[in-house]
Amino acid sequence: MTILVTGATGNIGRKVVDQLVRRGASVRALVRNPAKADFPAGVELAQGDLLDVDALRTALNGVSTLFLLNAVVPDEFTQALITLNLAREAGVRRVVYLSVIHSDVYLNVPHFAAKFGVERMIEAMGFSATILRPAYFMDNDLTIKDVVADYGSYPMPIGAKGLAMIDTRDIAEAAAIELLRRDQGSVELPLDRINLVGPDALTGVDVAAIWSAVLGRPVAYGGDDTAGFEQNLRGFMPAWMAYDMRLMAERFMSDGMVPEAGDVARLTALLGRPLRSYRDFAAGIAA
C-alpha cells in the first residue's frame, strides 16, 4: 500500500511526508528535481509534475492512495483534473485533497473557485475522498515578520470579521491521519469534508495585540488597504497572483474566515491534542 504525495517539497507537502513516515507508511513523493529532494530514508522518489502525463502515469503505478496538493498557479484546475483522471485510470480510488475553507463562498477569488471546481470533480468522479479545507496559514505571516518587528506594524489586511488561522503542522498532521484512514480501510469510505481551523478567530487588531504582547512593544494594525496590499505583492509575485490575493483579502473584509459550529472540536479530536495558537506561533518567532 503506497501513498503518493504531490507537492511533496512544499511547505505542506514536506510536512505530510514526514508525518506519514513517522507513522510507518510507504510513501512515494512526486518531485521535479530528485537531486534537490531531501526526504527521510525510505521515501521513494518519482520525477515529474502535474502536467507531465507520462511521468504521472509512472508515479501513480501501484499507488493505493493519493494526496493531491497543487500550487496556486494559472492552470491549477487543469493540473488537478489531469491528475484525477490519471489516478482513476490507474485504479486509484482513495484521495485526500487539500482545498481551502469557504471555497464555495469566495467564488470570485480565482484560486478558491479553482479548488471548489476540483472538489466537485472529486465528488462527481466517485472517489473515496477526504477534502481538507484549511483556513489562512499562520505560516504566511513569516513573510512579514520583519515588518512587524522593525516597523511595529502588522501589514496583512485581514479585516475585522475574524480569521481562524491554522498552523501548517496541524494541517499536515490532519492530512496524514486522513490518508492513513483512507489507505488502511478495509472498504472505501464515503466522501468527507473537514474544515481545518485554528482555535481562535482573530481580527487584524487582535493579531497586532498578540505581536505587541510577545515583542513587548507596541504593534499597530496596518489597516484594510487592499489596493496597497496588491501593489506591495506585485514587487515579488506576478500581477495576476497579486490581484488574486487582493480579491481574497477583500473577502476577508466582507465575510471573514471563521469556523462553523463544531469545527474546532472535530479537529482537536482528530489530532488528539489542542490546536496550535497564533500566540504560540508569534512567540516562537519572537524567541
Averaged pLDDT for residues 7-22: 96
**Average pLDDT in the 202-212 region?**
98
In this predicted structure, what is the pLDDT of residue 35? Answer: 86
Domain ranges of the chain: 2-135+167-196
* pLDDT for residue 215: 97
3-state secondary structure 215-254: HCCCCEECCCCHHHHHHHHCCCCCHHHHHHHHHHHHHHHH
CA-wise closest residue to 156 among 102, 233, 214, 100: 233
Round to whole Å and give the CA distance between 19 and 4: 13
Q: What is the pLDDT of residue 275?
A: 98
CATH label, 2-135+167-196, candidates 3.40.640.10, 3.40.630.30, 3.40.50.720, 3.30.465.10: 3.40.50.720
Nearest to 53 by CA among 90, 26, 27, 28: 90
CA 1 to chain centre: 25
Tell me the mean pLDDT in the region 14-33: 97
Q: Where do we find the cell 482528530?
A: 270
β-sheet bridge partners, residue 44: 28
Q: Could you give the CA distance from residue 170 to residue 172 in angstroms, rounded to a whole number?
A: 5
**Averaged pLDDT, 233-262:** 97
pTM over 0.85: yes
Binning pLDDT at 50, 70 and 90, where does residue 285 land?
A: very high
pLDDT-derived band at 36 (thresholds 50, 70, 90) equals confident
Tell me the per-residue pLDDT of 158-169, one tens digit each, with 9 for 90 and over. Answer: 999 999 999 999
How many CB atoms lie under 10 A from the CB of residue 124?
A: 9
At residue 31, the 3 state secondary structure works out as strand
Q: CA end-to-end span of the chain, whole Å? A: 42
The answer to whether 84 and 68 have CB atoms below 8 angstroms apart is yes
Instruction: Say which amino acid occupies 113.
Output: A
Q: 112-126 pLDDT, tens per residue?
A: 999 999 999 999 999
CA distance 245 to 148: 20
In the predicted structure, residue 173 carries a pLDDT above the cut 90: yes
- Beta-carbon contacts of 173 under 8 Å, excluding residues fewer than 6 positions away, are 15, 19, 271
* Strands across the sheet containing 26-31: 44-47, 26-31, 2-5, 65-68, 94-98, 128-134, 192-196
CB-based contacts of 96, cutoff 8 Å, min separation 6: 65, 66, 67, 68, 129, 130, 131, 132, 175, 178, 179, 182
